[in-house]
Amino acid sequence: MPELTPAFEEKKGPPDKIGPEEYLALVKDLLAHGDGRGKTQNVAAFLMRDILIATETSEGEVETARSIKVEPAYILLDVTKYKTPDQQELVIRDVGKNWAGKVIRERDLDSPDYRGYGVWINKKSAVEFDYRPVDPSNPRNALREPNPEAYRVCIDTKSPVNFPVMWIEDKSPGGGFYVAPGGTVAVRERDYQQLAEAVRSIEQDGVSIEDALYAKDDKGRAVAKIDVYGMEPNFANANGPKKPQYDPVALKDATVETQASYASAPAVLSSAPRLQQ
């Protein structure tokens, strides 16, 4: 898979956030050499719901209703293992039953409510971006298929890099996003052309890097204007012991054409300033 060039060389400890020139170099490397990754397999997705307790009067009318908020997330099932709706629903029922066992102290509080292959949890926004319902008209149909509009353009790095993102990451040096060696830098394909246009405005129209690629947050701090982001090592590729979250996918013709215009240009990261201590 494509990787960031050696200019982002490995150092001891996390690097400081890169400056505008280095960020431009990273972005151009992503534009030129990023490959497509996305979801390729259907899943069964069950949205976790709030717990609602209604108190009735002696006449059977609702007196109070209180809910316990549950994190907006989906329980996802591998449909190659849980092939039928009955099998899928049984897993969800087991989760609820085991949770109830903890509440009434029948089970160890630290024990998993479900343990087995092919079951995981992901946040609601991520699932609803990566997948779309196979049958939106049927709320009982939990099957979701990959959304081809959710593909990413990605590049892996052998070296640590800390770059600006659209939010301030307080725990990262300088307020950037730190990607460790083996991690991935990505942009959603839907944002790829906007990123390419921003770079074009720098190269052809004389727009400054700061105006083209940076913005200000509500506290006046410099953040990235376009959502280039990072993934942890081995999250998006197959180099680790776990199954990667994304598979190789074909990018759109327009993306490939734009990539070709950058790939033919001289390498930029090889001459970029080195990360400072």
For residue range 203-214, list pLDDT tens digits in order.
Answer: 999 999 999 999
Residues 260-277 have a mean pLDDT of 50
Q: Amino acid identity, residue 22?
A: E
Question: Comparing C-alpha atoms, which of 24, 7, 18, 33 is closest to residue 195?
Answer: 24
Model confidence pLDDT, tens digit, residues 224-254: 999 999 998 878 876 555 667 889 999 999 9
For position 83, what pLDDT does the model report?
Answer: 95
Q: Which two tokens stand for residue 256?
A: 């490939």
Residue 113 pLDDT greater than 50, yes or no: yes
Residues 261, 216, single domain; the answer is yes
Give dist(CA 152, CA 158) in Å, integer: 19
Residues 270-277 have a mean pLDDT of 32
Identify the domain boundary among 146, 169, 195: 146
Residues 70-99 have a mean pLDDT of 95
Burial of residue 142 (number of CB atoms within 10 Å: 0-12, 13-18, 19+): buried
Q: Is residue 3 part of a domain?
A: no
Query: Which residues on adjacent β-strands are paired with residue 186?
Result: 154, 229
Q: What is the largest CA-CA distance in the chain?
A: 80
- Residue 183 domain boundaries: 20-39+150-271
Query: Where does the pLDDT of residue 174 fall: very low under 50, low under 70, confident under 90, or very high at 90 and above?
Result: low
Question: Comparing C-alpha atoms, which of 129, 144, 8 is closest to residue 76?
Answer: 144
Rounded to the nearest 10 degrees, how much is the dihedral formed by the CA atoms of 265, 158, 18, 271? -40
Min mean pLDDT across 56-70, 105-119, 192-206 is at 56-70
Q: What angle do CA 79, 150, 168 make, to 5 degrees?
A: 115
Min mean pLDDT across 46-50, 125-129, 261-265 is at 261-265
Residue 45 pLDDT greater than 80, yes or no: yes
Residue 159 pLDDT greater than 90, yes or no: no
DSSP code, position 222: E
Average per-residue pLDDT in the chain?
Answer: 86
Residues 181, 200, single domain; the answer is yes
Angle formed by the axes of helices 253-263 and 189-205, nearest 10°: 40
Q: Considering the chain, what percentage of its residues have pLDDT values greater than 90?
A: 62
Q: Is residue 276 part of a domain?
A: no
Structural contact between residues 251 and 36, judged by C-beta atoms closer than 8 angstroms: yes
Residue 270 pLDDT greater than 80, yes or no: no
Question: Comparing C-alpha atoms, which of 246, 103, 104 is closest to residue 186?
Answer: 246
Residues 91, 227, single domain; the answer is no
Q: What share of the chain is helix, strand, coil (3-state, %, to 5)?
A: 30, 25, 45
For position 218, what pLDDT does the model report?
Answer: 85
Identify the domain boundary among 122, 146, 170: 146
Structural contact between residues 8 and 163, judged by C-beta atoms closer than 8 angstroms: no
Residues 259-264 have a mean pLDDT of 82
What is the tally of structural domains in the chain? 2
For position 267, what pLDDT does the model report?
Answer: 47
Residues 96, 157, single domain; the answer is no
Residue 30 pLDDT greater than 90, yes or no: yes
Residues 142, 197, single domain; the answer is no
Residues 218, 258, single domain; the answer is yes
For position 277, what pLDDT does the model report?
Answer: 25
Identify the domain boundary among 94, 123, 146: 146
Q: Is residue 250 part of a domain?
A: yes
Residue 219 pLDDT greater than 90, yes or no: no
Between 163 and 274, residue with greater pLDDT = 163
Q: Is residue 223 part of a domain?
A: yes
Residues 193, 91, single domain; the answer is no
Give dist(CA 227, CA 229) in Å, integer: 6
Structural contact between residues 268 and 7, judged by C-beta atoms closer than 8 angstroms: no
3-state secondary structure of 154: strand
For position 276, what pLDDT does the model report?
Answer: 30
Q: Amino acid identity, residue 240?
A: G
Give dist(CA 136, CA 99) in Å, integer: 29
Residues 97, 35, single domain; the answer is no
Q: Is residue 9 part of a domain?
A: no
Q: Which two tokens stand for residue 100?
A: 């109830």
